[in-house]
Amino acid sequence: MPDKKITINATRFDPEKDQQPHVQTYEIPFYDESMVVLDALNYVKSHVDGTLSYRWSCRMGICGSCGMMVNGVPKLTCNAFVRDYWPNPIVVEPLNNFPIVRDLVIDMDDFMHKLQSVKPWIIRKQEIPLGAGEHRQTNEQIDEFRQFSQCINCMLCYAACPVYGLNNEFLGPAATALARRYNLDSRDEGLKIRQPIIGDAEGIWECSFVGECSVVCPKGVDPAKAIQQSKWDTTLRFVMPYGNRD
Amino acid sequence: MNRQVDQESYDVLIIGGGLAGIRAAIAAAEMNPRLRIGMVSKVYPMRSHTVSAEGGAAAALAPDDSYETHAFDTVKGSDYLADQDVVEAFVREAPLEIIQMEHWGCPWSRNPDGTIAVRPFGGMSTWRTVFAADKSGFHMLHTVFQTSLKYPQIHRHDEAFVTKLLVEDSKCIGAVAIDMRSGRFQALTAKATILATGGLGRIYAFSTNGNICTGDGMALAYRAGVPLKDMEMVQFHPTGLPFTGILITEAVRGEGGYLVNAEGDRFLKSYVPNKMELGPRDIISRAMITEFEAGRGFEGPHGMYMHLDVRHLGEKLIDRKLPFMRELGREFVGIDIVKDPIPVRPVQHYMMGGVDADITGKTPMDGLYAAGECANVGLNGANRLGSNSLPECLVFGAAAGRAAAERASVTAAVGSNPVDAMLRDETKRVEDDYLSKRDGDERIGEIREDLQRSMDDGAGVYRTRTGLVELVNRIDSFRERFEKVKLYDSSRTFNTELTAALELGFMLDVAATVAASALAREESRGAHARRDFPERDDSKFLKHTLAYDAAGSPKLEYRDVHLGRFTPKARSY
Amino acid sequence: MATEINASGGTPAPPHEVGRSGGDETVTTRVYHRPMASGWWTRRRNYFMYVVREFTSLPLALWLLWFLYQVQQAQHRAVNYHPTTSIAFVVFSAIVLFFALYHSITFLSLAGSILRFRVIDRPVPARLIVLAQFALWAIASAVIAAVLIGFAR
């Protein structure tokens, strides 16, 4: 019984040598049913071609490092099982809509900048001292924002969003979901401060509700919902009398 | 960060961007807002391995709790190797750090009245583990990272790989780092440097740790002449998924899960009858191995395993308290933990050993501090209790941050002249030994896998003299092979083969200290279990092992443990 | 299906020179920008359906214009003028009705998760909101239909 093999077609790009990316094909053993695409890449790097570069760390879907396009779909490669693609070849490319730094590694600067721009920290008019203990908050109050707090910053949503692909100024799904996470946190009082960034033309209003961000999100954050909810809230605040009260 | 320059100078430099590192940065910034703080990490901070911690953070918050019981549990858990003055300080600071995290937005799970809830955990005599569902580390890391974005005086060097500490006149004056994007070597000078680089799990083949946990900071300190303390104390977590090694949190047992062998027996009644599944990790891991050796484990394609059963807890509790576990079971094992038992086996998880540091994070070298898992401040001794590590990162990260800030406030800046030469030398060393070397014939991956397998065999849950001697020799042979390692990637841009090679060098150094320290400690204490010396020997070994770099093999010394109000007794649960 | 790496060359950013100390060698680091293929929306079913959904506004707009024209025609004709005398209009109306229904149903179905109302202290369940939306839509449609048919008589 011949050993099973799997073919990986990986994007290669070294700015020192290449004018543009090209594809390199590797055929490696499909050595275990629970093998994931990340395992395949690691096998290539350890035993076949040490020059292949990509990001990874936790291998359990929580650090957000290993996002790549797998057969045209943004996925965490630690959670993409080879058995779901075998015997067909697996095409592994860097995440869409980001510039390529090297091979499967993309430039995350814009994403990091956008995360920071929504002021993702608790903003209060008056801080309570440590000695006063914790803010009282119920699990139901946490449920209000829990879903939006699950984002692992993997950027699959940005790779899936055609609006971001066409317009890099767009604030994007993860940043908006993070802003909403703080806006909905009962301890936070910073909604009005975040509003100019969210409500900007390049903020939520650039979104035309394609919805693919929520489809690809590996943690069920549903950033599309966060954006549409923000649109509704923002409109209500604008339209209702005294709507913009704290 | 500026990729264009050769040197950047900071008041405080923090190496590592996990919970301890970021906490230190914030503490330094709060202590003196005028300080220029640099934080260099080989990955973006959200990727730090803190993110995978699940169970929770222990603190004496509940009204029926006390500092004394938390301290006693910790000291007993450490098999009396902990420095009790450090433990006493820790238990008093931990509750404040939990409240601070809450103020910064960490979504701690709550009681109906809105106060922070606590859950039971292994080795803790009362419920004191604060938690954020079963993703505590994830929420804590994202909370501190996002909070750190508020401080413009914290300058981050993301994806910069530190290769060496800069030392002048026996003082640490910073570090050399490779900016991975450009391949440029930069000297980051500082008046005070904090190591917060995490653990070394990846020296083992079967570990919960992520790819980045390669003992970098420990090796950096070691090579600079700072000793590594208690390196033989490696923690094995009882419940890892077979094959992947993915962690199944202790909280599963805390919520009432049962550990069951192939005979359907809750076998822990023969080992820790009073605590059962909530016994300390070292004893439970040994119990599982003993059961495997007696043939009472389940056989699987990836080794023997036990069943961790939570079916009796019900779907509602699981979805409320253990949703991430349900997700992991579904994605990586194809089971629904509501209906199926979870296959688990002992897996390397945490390193009690680390850079010798004191209660303020100070190491024996002036200007160098250490905090978090890479440090050994004396808190965990020979065995760490679950849920003590996250507050450890906060308490000692903050302590190191403040101590470094204090030092930076009274120290003169580093002159650039000697640094220029040091930078040139280090650049040349890395280029000659790795990037430009054409005549090697060993592959990094192969040496690494051989090292990992050997560590699993020789320095696992149970150790023997023969096994450890063999391990020491094997590590020496790997070192020789490593001299002949060949890199295929000569690019300057994001060269992950180069970083893998540098990491392998670090791993070999720390692995050697683990093996040597384990061989020399001829007793069993906490997580260090010797089949040939099964008893604890306080007369000879109530001491910390200190491993110094002596050109090749570690040179060992010993230092007495700081005792306190808890006198060492026999340890049973 | 794989996304194309545009073989005709993306637009590499101008080489960004990063000099090293000593200055004898320069290290260039540039990133590669992949342009979005103009057929991006044909590559995945979800993108295609999205464009269809957005596109439905165009035939709807055209239909409205045509409808207004029919209304204007009705002014100049005999009392019993019926738009149904134009077969093309009927067919086009049927197509546009299908598009409008598709767009409206997807839009209203999502209202449940987007709109959040609280009654006393508990959130209104999503299903209730969606049902309410559809009910309002049905009522509004009935009212408008009655008015239009009334005028047509």
pLDDT at C120 (0 to 100): 65
Interface with A, mutate which of B139, B178, B331 (most A CBs under 10 A): B331
Exposure of C118 by Cβ count < 10 A (0-12 exposed, 13-18 middle, 19+ buried)? Answer: exposed
The CATH code of the domain that includes B490 is: 1.20.58.100
Compute the average pLDDT of residues B378-385.
97
B141 and B38 together in one domain: yes
pLDDT classification of B1: cutoffs 50, 70, 90: low
d(CA B49, CA A240): 46
pLDDT classification of C82: cutoffs 50, 70, 90: low
Is residue B559 predicted with pLDDT exceeding 90?
A: yes
Give tens-digit pLDDT for B313-362.
Answer: 999 999 988 999 999 999 889 999 999 999 999 999 999 999 999 999 99
**Across chain B, what does the average pLDDT equal?**
95
pLDDT at C118 (0 to 100): 67
d(CA C40, CA C44): 8
C50 and C71 together in one domain: yes
B448 and B525 together in one domain: yes
pLDDT at C66 (0 to 100): 83
Q: Flag whether B206 is in a domain.
A: no
Is residue C124 predicted with pLDDT exceeding 80?
A: no
Check if the beta carbon of residue B157 is closer than 8 Å to that of residue B36. Answer: no
Residue ranges and CATH numbers for the domains of chain A are 5-106 (3.10.20.30), 109-239 (1.10.1060.10)
Is residue B558 predicted with pLDDT exceeding 70?
A: yes
pLDDT at C113 (0 to 100): 73
Q: Do B185 and C18 touch (CB under 8 A)?
A: no
Check if the beta carbon of residue B46 is closer than 8 Å to that of residue B158. Answer: no
Measured in residues, chain A has a length of: 246
C28 and C90 together in one domain: no
Q: Do A162 and C41 touch (CB under 8 A)?
A: yes
Q: Flag whether B464 is in a domain.
A: yes
pTM for the model: 0.93
Contacts for A88 with CB less than 8 Å, ≥ 6 apart:
none
Catalytic residue positions of B, numbered: 237, 253
Q: Flag whether C8 is in a domain.
A: no
User: Which has the higher per-residue pLDDT, C36 or C70?
Assistant: C36
The CATH code of the domain that includes B92 is: 3.50.50.60
Contacts for A210 with CB less than 8 Å, ≥ 6 apart:
A161, A162, A163, A224, C46, C47, C50
Give me the total of CB pairs closer than 8 Å, taking one residue from chain B and one from chain C.
22
Cα distance from N-terminal residue to C-terminal residue, chain B: 52
pLDDT classification of B101: cutoffs 50, 70, 90: very high
Set of chain A residues whose Cβ sits within 8 Å of the Cβ of C28: 15-16
Give tens-digit pLDDT for A126-173.
Answer: 999 999 999 999 999 999 999 999 999 999 999 999 999 999 999 999
Supply the ipTM of this predicted assembly.
Answer: 0.97
Q: Do C27 and B420 touch (CB under 8 A)?
A: no
Check if the beta carbon of residue A237 is closer than 8 Å to that of residue A244. Answer: yes
Q: How many domains does chain B have?
A: 3
Two structure tokens written together for C33: 């920008």
d(CA B231, CA B263): 36
B21 and B164 together in one domain: yes
d(CA A217, CA A22): 28
Neighbours of A191 (CB within 10 A): 20
Q: In what order do the strands lie in the sheet with C11-12?
A: A105-106, A100-102, C32-33, C11-12
B189 and B284 together in one domain: no
Compute the average pLDDT of residues B55-69.
95
Contacts for A132 with CB less than 8 Å, ≥ 6 apart:
none
pLDDT at A3 (0 to 100): 85
The residue segments making up the domain with residue C102 are 42-152
d(CA B306, CA B153): 50
Give tens-digit pLDDT for A182-238.
Answer: 999 999 999 999 999 999 999 999 999 999 999 999 999 999 999 999 999 999 888
Q: Flag whether B387 is in a domain.
A: yes
Q: Which amino acid is at A35?
A: M
Is C94 part of the contact surface with chain A (CB cutoff 8 Å)? no
Q: Which of A28, A40, A25 is nearest to A4 (CA)?
A: A28
User: Which has the higher per-residue pLDDT, A93 or C6?
Assistant: A93
pLDDT at C29 (0 to 100): 72
Q: Do B4 and C21 touch (CB under 8 A)?
A: no
Q: What share of chain C is helix, strand, coil (3-state, %, to 5)?
A: 60, 10, 30
B294 and B331 together in one domain: yes
pLDDT at C133 (0 to 100): 84
**Across chain A, what does the average pLDDT equal?**
95
Check if the beta carbon of residue B365 is closer than 8 Å to that of residue B405. Answer: no
Phi-psi region of A134 (alpha: psi -120 to 50; beta: other; left: phi over 0): beta
Q: Which of B143, B161, B138 is nearest to B50 (CA)?
A: B138
The CATH code of the domain that includes B335 is: 3.90.700.10
Q: CA-CA distances (angstroms) from residue B314 to A139, B265, B310, B317, B432?
A: 19, 21, 8, 6, 60
- Main-chain dihedrals φ then ψ at residue B58, nearest 5 degrees: -85, 140
Is B553 part of the contact surface with chain C (CB cutoff 8 Å)? no
Set of chain B residues whose Cβ sits within 8 Å of the Cβ of C29: 3, 181-183, 492-493
- For the CA atoms of B204, B24, B15, A51, the dihedral, rounded to the nearest 10 degrees, stands at 60
The mean-pLDDT minimum among A146-160, B255-269, C63-77 falls in C63-77
The residue segments making up the domain with residue B288 are 235-348
Selecting from C3, C41, C114 the residue whose C-beta is nearest the C-beta of A228 gives C114
Look at the alpha carbons of A228, A232, A237, A239 in this order and tell me if their dihedral is positive or negative: positive
pLDDT at C63 (0 to 100): 87
Q: Do C18 and B424 touch (CB under 8 A)?
A: no
B113 and B145 together in one domain: yes
* Helices and strands (DSSP H and E) totals, chain C: 4, 6
- Beta-bridge mates of residue B240: B247, B345
pLDDT classification of C22: cutoffs 50, 70, 90: very low
